[in-house]
């Protein structure tokens, strides 16, 4: 069975300079439109041809669509066309496309991918809109510092830039360094609030991919192979490798998952119920839905807390600056004997 393996960045393709020009919204729209047409019974080539005559897209998106159409016309699989397209599709996207082509459920998997991407874009949009007001507060605070304490303006500005640069550097290093990503992912799972969010997200992806592949008639051991890199967390990716090796040794899925020691009791109970009823795919789908709902609820809660927290912190900083300012003025007045 062929796995969706991602080549190294340097050898992947020569069109990487064009990847950033395609927005996530365009990829989500592409996925949704293709899923709809395939579900309606159109062949892949006809669906892509129809999409090429559709709505306006950016030049990079048109190049990507033309590239995929060309490769499909030459006899390549959809997975191969995406893997070498002038846009870097993430691992989960490629894994699900690979599973969909091999099981005949590509339309359903693309529809599920589109829904997931649209939900993620909606969360990002909500986060951006809710951060406008705190960003305005930060700008006002910097202006006040510049007026009241000119000497502190540049140190505060540099500190803010260093904080933003540090966060960006961590995210960049996680994408490029495997060892760094391992450490970050392990640390992330131990955090009080974000750890539960990361765990629920990984389990939701694990359950959804495994359920979809297994429901399509793929043998369980082959379905587990598709989980390589699909969870979004290195700790769970390693657990997937251990589960696959355990199944090859003859262990049951319950024994393999239990031995991985990273899945909560609810996952073990779900697998037990699925095995006993002969409806493992349905049980895993319900498990994925549960954890997806948990991710949505926790994400919404975190997003709603960010603006007031930033506002409170800024208020405290401004208050401290005002106290320092007026304390300095009173000290100057006392020194003059007024």
- Lowest mean pLDDT of 47-61, 97-111, 122-136, name the range: 122-136
- Lowest mean pLDDT of 15-19, 141-145, 333-337, name the range: 15-19
Q: What is each CA distance from 118 to 112, 114, 177, 331, in whole angstroms?
A: 10, 6, 28, 58
What is the structure's pLDDT at 245? 92
Digit-coded pLDDT (tens) for 258-292 = 999 899 999 999 999 998 888 888 898 899 889 88
Q: In percent, how much of the chain has pLDDT > 70? A: 78
> Above 80 in pLDDT, residue 123?
no
Phi and psi angles of residue 14, each rounded to the nearest 5 degrees, phi first:
-95, 5
What is the structure's pLDDT at 16? 40
With cut-offs at 50, 70 and 90, classify the pLDDT of residue 11: very low
Digit-coded pLDDT (tens) for 295-317 = 888 888 877 777 777 778 777 77
Q: Under 8 Å CB-to-CB from 99, ≥6 apart: which residues?
A: 105, 109, 209, 212, 213, 216, 218, 223, 226
Which domains, and CATH codes, for the chain?
9-89 (no CATH), 116-338 (1.20.81.30)
Distance CA 260, CA 242 (A): 7
Digit-coded pLDDT (tens) for 40-65 = 888 888 888 888 876 667 778 888 88
């Amino acid at each position: 069975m062929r796995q969706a393996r991602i080549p190294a960045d340097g050898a992947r393709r020569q069109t990487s300079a064009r990847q950033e020009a395609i927005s996530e919204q365009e990829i989500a729209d592409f996925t949704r439109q293709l899923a709809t047409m395939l579900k309606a019974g159109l062949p892949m080539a006809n669906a892509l041809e129809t999409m090429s005559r559709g709505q306006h897209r950016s030049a990079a998106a048109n190049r990507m669509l033309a590239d995929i159409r060309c490769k499909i016309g030459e006899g390549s699989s959809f997975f191969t066309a995406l893997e070498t397209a002038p846009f870097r599709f993430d691992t989960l996207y490629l894994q699900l496309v690979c599973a969909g082509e091999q099981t005949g459920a590509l339309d359903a998997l693309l529809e599920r991918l589109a829904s997931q991407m649209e939900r993620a874009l909606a969360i990002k949009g909500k986060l951006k809109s809710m951060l406008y007001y705190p960003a305005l507060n930060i700008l006002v605070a910097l202006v006040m510092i510049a007026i009241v304490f000119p000497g502190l303006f540049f140190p505060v500005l540099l500190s803010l830039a260093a904080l933003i640069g540090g966060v960006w550097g961590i995210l960049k290093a996680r994408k490029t360094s495997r060892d760094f990503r391992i450490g970050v992912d392990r640390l992330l799972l131990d955090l009080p609030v974000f750890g539960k969010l990361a765990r629920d997200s990984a389990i939701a992806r694990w359950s959804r991919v495994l359920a979809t592949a297994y429901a399509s008639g793929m043998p369980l051991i082959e379905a587990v192979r598709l989980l390589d890199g699909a969870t979004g967390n290195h700790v769970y990716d390693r657990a997937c490798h251990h589960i696959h090796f355990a199944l090859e040794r003859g262990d049951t899925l319950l024994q393999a998952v239990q031995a991985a020691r990273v899945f909560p009791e609810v996952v073990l109970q779900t697998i037990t119920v699925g095995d006993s009823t002969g409806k493992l795919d349905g049980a895993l789908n319900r498990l994925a839905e549960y954890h997806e709902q948990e991710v949505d609820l926790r994400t919404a809660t975190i997003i709603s807390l960010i603006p007031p927290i930033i506002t409170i912190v800024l208020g405290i900083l401004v208050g401290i600056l005002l106290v320092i300012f007026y304390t300095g003025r009173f000290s100057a007045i006392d020194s003059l004997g007024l």
